[in-house]
Structure 1
Amino acid sequence: MQRRLASINHFRDNPHEVQQQLLRRLLHTARGTDWGRRYGYEDGMSVREFGQRVPVSSYEELYPQIERVLRGEANVLWPGRVEWSAKSSGTTNARSKYIPVTREALEEGHYRAGRDMTALATLYYPEVNILSGKTLSLGGTHGPNPFRPNEAGSRIGDVSAILMQNLPAWAEYVRTPPLELALLDEWEEKIERIARHVLQVDVRVLAGVPTWMIVLLRRVTELAGASSILDVWPRLGLFLHGAVAFGPYRELFQQLIPSPHMHYLEVYNASEGYLALQDQPDSEDLLLLLNHGIYYEFLPADQWDVPEPQAVGLADVELGRTYAVVISTNAGLWRYKIGDTVRFTSLRPYRIRISGRTKHFLNAFGEEVVVENADAAIAAACRATRTTVRDYTAAPIYFAATDGASRGGHQWLIEFTQPPQDTAHFTQVLDHTLRQLNSDYDAKRHRDLALTPPQVMVAPAGTFERWLARRGKLGGQHKVPRLSNSRELLDELLAQVAQ
């Protein structure tokens, strides 16, 4: 633990040196691959040369090389053959995208960061004594690689399942449930069997996606006939959460775990790597992990959609601006646009908050509402109306104004765990908070000139879960897109509700 804390302090204090050394190692290792030869990787290659030679790539642009990796070719993007790939949410050219997961990415990225998180949690919350009990991790599943159906050793699945399957012995020792339950692919059966298994387990830590952890906690409480999950796990003291913003779920978890001694820490662990974690108990900012196999660059908003985007390095980012994340990794992703957007809250050390997705925002009328705005507004409306939200999505709605001008609004479909008594008040707080948080939204809402007040529609219980099930994405790290400039998703959900 002390060694991990010393390592964290080292890259906190020497961010640029650590990142430059990391890039040199990545280039040296990959110089003999097809990609490395194509772009002239060599020892001594400068950061500037790297940026000039290698293009910034989306998943679609990098996919021809990734497909070669999936089909078993060696030395394409990274040395050797890659046997594991993480299956992530859909892209424009397919329902799913596949991210190579190398042994280096596991050992130097995910597992190293896991030890960091354990060290920090032990430092901040020694009373939980997390290594004396079990960490209940809830994840997805994996299966044969469809690109190599005859090779049993090649697998594809949720990154959470890949991590659990390959865990080092020390981590497997403190984890529950056993793999045969954790990796079940039928979600309802998984929840039921895990809930029954962990009734008698000394669970100290929860780890997973908030939306699905809620389902499990309720089932455990129900099976135990308990009034609170603390009656089942009296030593429960920490939830390590990620994948979705926690703000809308915080009050619900406080209801499910009514203890002033329950702690929450956020992690930013994606299919592409372990990027950041919460290193301060009193702040939700995330410390960017600089020595975990990922070299970072950032695209300002005006570069997101240009043909040859110009990224900036860590030394040139500014506080408060929104950037799209570009990464080069020890899994062979080179100058890859991960799709997430962040803003920096600190430059000494480098800390971020996830603000949304480059494709998940509302900007049909110039309002530029990002997921961070939406989550904060939902949370405020929940507090004001003493309710909680299970899931939501929003999309634009268009109207023909009486004066002939084009204007519209936002339509929200929200599934509540406990619907508010006054939906109109919930809507007012949602709107008011968005106006406070986002000056562009506020300007468009002025006198309803461009945007009318939002419309909130209450979704029946189970709406989003059924939608995910129909798409084969129930459980694991799959989640509902929060915001979209297209009505495709919202109309599909509304049609489902109408059935």
Structure 2
Amino acid sequence: MGLKSTLSRPLAAYIAHQYRQWQQDPIGTQQRVLRELLTHGARTRFGHDHDLAGARTAQDLAARVPVRDYEGLAPYFNQVKAGEPDVLWPGKPLYLAKTSGTTSGAKYIPITSASIPNHINGARDALLHYVHATGKSRFLDGKLIFLSGSPELETVGGIHTGRLSGIANHHVPPYLRRNQLPSYQTNSIEDWETKLDRIVEETLPQPMTLISGIPPWVQMYFDRIVQRAGRPVGEVFPQFDLFVYGGVNFEPYRKKLFDTIGRPVDSIELFPASEGFLAFQDEPGNPGLLLLLNAGIFFEFVPAERFFEPNPPRLTLADVALDQQYAVVLNSNAGLWGYSLGDTVRFTQKYPFRVVVTGRIKHFLSAFGEHVIGEEVEQTLRGAMQQHPEVEVVEFTVAPRVSDDPAVPSRHEWLIEFARPPHDAAAFAASLDAGLRQRNVYYDDLLRGNILAPLLLTPLPVGAFQRYMKSLGKLGGQNKVPRLSNDRKLAEGITGLSEIA
């Protein structure tokens, strides 16, 4: 056992003990975080505009600060980008995390000197909790890789700006820097496919022990490894012990990823975002992710079904219920106030509070009044794959298909890129329909009433989603394909490119 793996064990025990301290009083921990945020926020332009100096409680905050997304807070973010101090948080941010927006183009999320430890320590503590829970630390002695965006930074308003993963790359502790792959030069390549080939070249001869990234892009990396080496990833990297992932639901990718590895490998799920590192899987085998309540973020939760009301209820941890869908609202030491993250979660446990990420509040399918959410289609696909074990899925999305013929009902269209297609496509489609009807009573009612016809399954050629994401300039990195949409834009974009190909 090497020095790093040996020393990690007492550190892991210490960190786990520190976490247990605040977990004993999670409500009180969040109240202390809120008081500290309000004290600093009162000294800002936003705080003056919203009378944060007069706020003491979560109810005070909710009365003064409405829930807003990036576009709603854009006037303040634009002032920060222009280099003005004391706008959302005292002083200027250390960084701006640049991320893709939907309606506003690129988004620029502040990262302050107070909030940067949240991003860095969250990932570190996830690994240390794994070490403490399992006693496994050998992976720290080998080579580690995170498939991420470029670490090259630009300057906006006098503030260093880049992808969050690139910013985090500058804060890798020195004791792990020697273990890190790929090289800085390779990681700085902007074109994803060129970069991926270089990563394969650099990692093939190395003793890889930890591989991390968003599942669809890790799958691309694994496929290139298998193509080059002619063997499963687990044979190419016999010391590969730990897979760390986040950003999307892992279940649709699990079977193909582990088939490509060729043997069991431990895994850890993270819940990172440019706005903050929110949670991680602290117990192996427990799908619930531990919310980080002592890391400069005060959480609020809006019942998902009421999110689009003019004044929806905003719940604190003391008010949430298990197995309900909530939209996440953040107030943080990055200067985010009443900020709608866009993600939805479901609580699986209280004391400690653990969640699973269930989708995006804007990514639902309700073209016909069914309000299908991401978790429902992902669970439906997983169930159908269990009934048809030959099936492997690369990627998928679901869109409405509105009929022009009044005599022919409309339907859902499932566009799926298969690594291994079903033996019987009609039976697989029937399994999907049955699974979604079981999970969504509104969808079931629409089919019973012949308002909707059974779904249409559209198999896509290999590489369809990669070509589509590349056409948008979103291949690789932190980019994700929406699971659901209420229009045909994504569906027609993918099928149009597939027909050309």
For the aligned pair, the TM-score class normalised by the smaller chain equals: over 0.9
- Deviation of the 1:171 alpha carbon: 4.1
Match of residue 90 from structure 1: 101
Contact kept, 8 Å, 1:91 with 1:97, in 2: the verdict is: no
The residue aligned with 1:235 is 239
Following superposition, the deviation at residue 142 of structure 1 comes to 5.2
CA-CA distance at 1:495 after TM superposition: 2.1
Q: Tell me, what secondary structure is at the counterpart of 1:117?
A: helix
Letter in 1 for 2:105: R
Asked if residue 399 in structure 1 is aligned to residue 394 in structure 2, the reply is no
CA pair 26-172 structure 1, distance change in 2 beyond 3 A: farther
Written as runs of structure 1 = structure 2, the 5 A alignment for 1:323-472 is 323-385=326-388, 386-399=390-403, 407-446=409-448, 449-472=450-473
Q: For 2:161, what is the secondary structure of its paired residue?
A: strand
1:34 to 26, 31, 45: 45
Alpha-carbon displacement from aligned partner over 1:141-168 (angstroms, at most 9, x marks no partner): 25555754xx5xx343322122112323
Conserved? CA contact 1:436–1:442, under 8 Å: yes
How far the C-alpha of 1:407 sits from its partner, in A, is 4.6
Deviation at 1:439, TM superposition (A): 2.4
SS in 2 for 1:67: helix
Contact 2:94 2:113 survives alignment (8 Å): no
Q: For each residue in 1:119-150, what CA deviation from the matched residue of structure 2 results, as whole angstroms up to 9, or x when unmatched? A: 111123334522212221110125555754xx
Q: Distance in 1 between matches of 2:328 and 2:15?
A: 25
Residue 452 of structure 2: SS of its match in structure 1?
A: coil
Query: Aligned ranges for residues 298-337 of structure 1 at < 5 Å?
Result: 298-337=301-340
Superposed CA offset, 1:21-77 (max 9, x none): 111111222221111222223387222212211221121110111111112111111
Please tell me whether the aligned partners of residues 128 and 204 of structure 1 are also in contact (alpha carbons under 8 angstroms). no
Kept in 2, the 8 Å contact 1:33–1:78? The answer is yes
Q: Please tell me whether residue 290 in structure 1 is matched to residue 298 in structure 2.
A: no
Indicate the larger mover: 173-182 or 288-297: 173-182
Partners of 1:182 and 1:166 in 2: how far apart?
15
Q: Deviations over 1:354-406 (max 9, x none)?
A: 11111101112222211111111122223333121111111111236766xx9
Counterparts of 1:259-298 in structure 2 under 5 Å?
Answer: 259-260=263-264, 262-298=265-301
Which residue number corresponds to residue 182 of structure 1? 187
Instruction: Quote the Cα distance in structure 2 between the aligned partners of 1:45 and 1:291.
Output: 18
Q: 2:5 aligns to what?
A: none
Q: Secondary structure at the match of 1:103?
A: coil
CA distance in 2, matches of 1:364, 1:173: 52
Structure 2 counterpart SS, 1:10: helix
* Aligned residues of 2:232 and 2:261 also touching (Cα < 8 A): yes
Alpha-carbon contact 2:52-2:64 (below 8 Å) kept: no
Task: State the number of aligned residues.
Answer: 488
CA pair 222-494 structure 1, distance change in 2 beyond 3 A: closer
Aligned to 1:66: 77
Contact preservation (8 Å) 2:297, 2:332: yes
- 3-state SS in 2 of match to 1:245: coil
Question: For residues 406 and 153 of structure 2, what CA distance do their matches in structure 1 show?
Answer: 58
Query: Matches of 1:435 and 1:302 in 2, distance apart?
Result: 19
* Higher deviation after alignment, 449-458 or 391-400: 391-400
> Partner letter of residue 55 of structure 1?
P
Q: Give unpaired runs (5+ residues) of structure 1.
A: none
- 2:492 is equivalent to residue 487 of structure 1: no
Q: How many Å separate the matches in 1 of 2:50 and 2:176?
A: 39
Shift in Å at residue 323 of structure 1? 0.8
Task: Determine if contact 1:128/1:235 at 8 Å carries over to the other structure.
Answer: no
Deviation by residue 1:437-469 (Cα, 9 ceiling, x = unmatched): 2222222222x5222111111111111111111
Question: TM-score by structure 1 length?
Answer: 0.93
Q: How does 1:122-161 map to 2 (within 5 A)?
A: 122-127=131-136, 129-141=138-150, 145=154, 147-148=156-157, 151=158, 154-161=159-166
Q: 1:34 to 1:170 in 2, by over 3 A?
A: farther
Q: Which residue among 208, 217, 237 is the counterpart of 1:212?
A: 217
Equivalent pair of 1:128/1:238 in contact (CA under 8 Å): no
Structure 2: runs of 5 or more not aligned: 1-11
Deviations 1:184-242 (A, max 9, x none): 2111111111111111222111111010111112222333x242212221111111111
Structure 1 pair 144–253 and aligned structure 2 pair: CA distance change class (3 A): closer
Matched, 1:477 2:478: yes
Task: Please say which of residues 247-256 and 154-163 is displaced more in the overlay.
Answer: 154-163
Tell me which amino acid in the other structure corresponds to 2:208. V
Q: Paired residue for 1:102, among 112, 130, 139?
A: 112
Greater alpha carbon shift after TM alignment, 235-244 vs 435-444: 435-444
SS in 2 for 1:59: coil
C-alpha change, 1:191 and 1:319, in structure 2 (3 Å) is same
Quickly say closer, same or farther: Cα 1:378–1:156, change in 2 above 3 A: farther
Q: Which residue of 2 aligns with 1:172?
A: 177
CA–CA separation in structure 2 for the residues paired with 1:458 and 1:226: 27
Distance 1:172 1:335 in 2: 37
8 A contact 1:204–1:233 mirrored in 2: yes
**What secondary structure, in the 3-state scheme, does the structure 2 residue paired with 1:131 have?**
helix
1:311 partner SS: coil
In structure 1, give the amino acid aligned to 2:216: T
Report SS of the residue matched to 1:451: coil
> Cα distance 1:65–1:316, how it changes in 2: closer, same or farther (>3 A)?
same
How many Å separate the matches in 2 of 1:7 and 1:496?
A: 52
Are the aligned partners of 1:295 and 1:327 in contact in 2 as well (CA < 8 Å)?
yes
1:221 equivalent to 2:226? Answer yes
> What is the CA–CA distance in structure 2 between the aligned matches of 1:450 and 1:96, rounded to whole Å?
39
User: In structure 2, how many angstroms separate the alpha carbons of the residues matched to 1:196 and 1:307?
Assistant: 54
User: For the residues of structure 2 that align with 1:201 and 1:103, how far apart are their CA atoms?
Assistant: 35
Give the letter aligned to residue 135 of structure 2.
Answer: P
1:258 to 249, 262, 268: 262
How far apart are residue 325 of structure 1 and its match?
A: 0.5
Q: 1:115 aligns with which of 124, 142, 145?
A: 124
Distance in 2 separating the partners of 1:204 and 1:281: 18
CA distance in 1, matches of 2:469, 2:365: 22
In structure 2, distance between residues paired with 1:398 and 1:212: 32
Out of 75, 79, 83, the position equivalent to 2:90 is 79
What is the CA deviation profile of residues 75-130 of structure 1, one whole-angstrom value per residue up to 9, with x for unaligned ones? 111122224222223222x23322122232221x1112122111111123334522
